[in-house]
Structure 1
Amino acid sequence: MTALSVNLNKIAVLRNSRGGRDPDVVAAGVACLDAGAHGLTVHPRPDGRHIRTDDVHALGALCAARGVEFNVEGNPFAAPRPGYPGLLALCEAVRPAQVTLVPDGDGQLTSDHGFDFARDGAALRPLIAAFKALGCRVSVFVDVGDPAVGQAAAVGADRVELYTGPYAAAYAAGTPETALAAAADTARRAQSAGLQVNAGHDLSQANLAAFLAAVPNVREVSIGHALIGEALYAGLDATVRAYRRIVDAARPAG
């Protein structure tokens, strides 16, 4: 089964645009879980532009109480600063089931590329070991088509997350075939190295089923931007349930 993890960053963006507590990210998390999401994802950034450190603690407690997976994304190389203790310190405090490492710069608008293992592999290895020592499963963000995707296993990762932005753009343009074939090939090469495969970025109700049909044994999709946008029209409960129908209809993950 492919698990659905809902990314709550956009709820926090809306809250922060006005100040105060509304909309409440924990209440949104409860609504998503009640509607059938398998877990929750957050990507706190050092500038606190959306999910903040206090949100990570509150949502971690919610996931622990509900017995579901909490996935915390972030750049392991980003230095601690006031209001942001660093990704490792956050995970030490919250102990999420999964940490997803991404190579985002501090000012980057959104994740848009995977790690370069030739450049970053040596620095990643001890950090991944530190996250795993906390009991976290470690996934690393990778580009579809990266010939070195198997190196994620060599540096200690358990999973890779395929960056699906280019696939989503190709799907919207009506030409998804090449992007799907590349994603499927990358997934198989990762799996042959002993890695499991996640996916995320710009996945939506429109393009998710085709992706899951073409790419073998996707363990988890984390979806936020499209899901929250769709929920503005249909409601959060109905939208999460619609995504559950899509992932439930996909081929089982072996």
Structure 2
Amino acid sequence: MKNDFLIISNMFKSITNIKLPECLKNHDLSQEIAASWNEFSGSLYHWPSALEDYEYAYNSDEQDIDRIIKNIHKATTYLGSLSSGYLGHGYIARVNHALKEIESDFSKLENFISKLPQPFEISQIYFESKKSFAEKTHIKIQQLLKNIPDGEDKKQIYKLSLLMEEITLNISDVSFSLRNINNSVNKLNGQIRAINNIYNELVENFNEENKKDIFTRNYRQCMVYFSDFTNKFNLFSYDYKSFRKNNILIIL
């Protein structure tokens, strides 16, 4: 699978490395070419800051996920014992502790994921608004080449034309990658909201049972909520780790 981060970052580097040759000023269309290029050259201006925001929690978020999974296993064991009627051995306190650990780590993960959409969306919106200027720049350069006699100027401008051609060929891939990243991040945020909702129902039900007389408690409904929570979290974990795996962090 393609690394969307790499595709976008390669475009950013290509744009950054292009410098309009000085000899361009000696010819007609130079101002139009420069104007179009200046518009497009800032099309990925927001991309480095988006990567920085992603990098901020890059190394800690997977540790949070792994701790949550360990605590899910603990809570499953203890809650299973409670639902089967084993009320001793401090199982209630152990479930409470595991749930609090899950909530603490999940809140960190939620905070990180919730901040991702804005920088990526800004990058996508800005690029889409500027990408047409790449084609305009390329067309103007080609028009200029037709009217320039052979010589050093033409060689330099021809090299520029080749670079612009490569950029225009990759425009659609960059657009797709930006959309793909935003779709993935929005999906992850939707999963987090669903996980939060079922977690709150789980905790509410667990606390209600704990208020009852010890011999009338029934934790089976808690197990239903917890099973739903576990399934949703495992799906989120898989999707998020896939997102990370397919988008290895790129340091510009």
Give the TM-score taking structure 1 as reference length: 0.21
The structure showing larger relative contact order (alpha-carbon pairs under 8 Å, at least 6 residues apart) is 2
More helix by share: 2
Give the TM-score taking structure 2 as reference length: 0.22
Higher Rg: 2
More strand by share: 1
